[in-house]
Amino acid sequence: MTTLLTSHADCLNHEIAPGHPESPDRLKAVEKMLSGTRFNDLVREDAPMGTVEQVLHAHPEDYVKQIADVRPTEGIVHLDADTVMSPGSWDATMRAVGAITHVVEKVVDRQFDNAFVATRPPGHHAEAHRAMGFCIFNNAAIGALHARNILGLDRVAVVDFDVHHGNGTQDIFWNEADMFYGSTHQMPLYPGTGAYTETGVGNIFNAPLSPGADGADFREAMNEVILPALDAFRPDLIIISAGFDAHTRDPLANINLQEEDFVWITNKLLDSADRHAGGRLVSILEGGYDLKALASSTGEHVSALMSA
């Protein structure tokens, strides 16, 4: 397998208050892990700058203009209690947009078998009209809709194993029957969405996990809810919202996954991509706030992508 890794130094310039969990150190930890010799076969490309036209796949023009207009030249501006913009945030956010659309194009065109996007800020909490939960634009949704609207795919799936529910992706896909969203996540927990009963137009599949759940519970939820629904959907492309904050070390939640659980679900999704999508799969970094767990989990995830 040939795996593409895409990132950009601009993503380190999205500055937040000292002590905030979504810090540039997260990306530095991931980059340090992926610089090891076992990742020598990764093909590495800088992310291009995304365009407003790409963002408009998932967000209306007035929202995009609002974000562009509030970007500061100094200090920080709060978009909500948890989500801020600093002078470097616009470029960081647009590099993430450019990264996901770039790798989707490369994988759909079969230049690479799969890809991993190491960018920040994350995206899965960003709703069509609202920034929240550290997220400004919804990268995974933008990539999925770019694949449909521009590249002509019929069905695109986003599978999200971040410990927090991706309310933003669910919101954007809610009435889109040719877009699939499947999520495991802790409940109750921020943002409070993600019940089994939230189903969109039959394209949304949530499998909430109770606090204290472990790898066996996670695998059961995937095997009983998400993976069968994904097989029935038969996607032309799978995008993973790869949050690693369900790791037992993570400080923001209470799920007890280990690195081997992330390897297991990565392999399951690669298998699904082989069955339905000609192997086409793209993964993008979402959460993960214990630096050691984030680095090791990302390393195992990317190793699985490379070894499929």
What does the pLDDT look like over 162-192, one tens digit per residue? 999 999 999 999 999 999 999 999 999 999 9
First to last CA, the chain: 6
Q: Where are the alpha helices (DSSP H) in the chain?
A: 24-34, 52-55, 61-70, 89-108, 139-149, 167-173, 215-221, 227-233, 259-276, 291-307
Report, as residue numbers or ranges, the catalytic residues: 125
Residues 6+ apart with CB under 8 A from 28: 12
- Over range 237-258, report the average pLDDT: 98
Q: Which of 157, 177, 302, 181 is nearest to 238 (CA)?
A: 157
Whole-number Å distance between alpha carbons of 218 and 296 = 19
Topology of domain 3-307 in CATH is Arginase; Chain A (3.40.800)
Give pLDDT, residue 308: 82
Six token digits for residue 29? 């930890």
CA angle 78, 51, 114 (to 5 degrees): 100
- Over range 254-276, report the average pLDDT: 98
pTM: predicted TM-score of the whole model, two decimal places: 0.98
The confidence band for 271, taking pLDDT boundaries of 50, 70 and 90, is very high
User: Per-residue pLDDT tens for 4-22?
Assistant: 999 999 999 999 988 999 9
φ/ψ (deg, to 5) at 140: -65, -45
Per-domain boundaries in the chain: 3-307
Whole-number Å distance between alpha carbons of 198 and 200 = 6
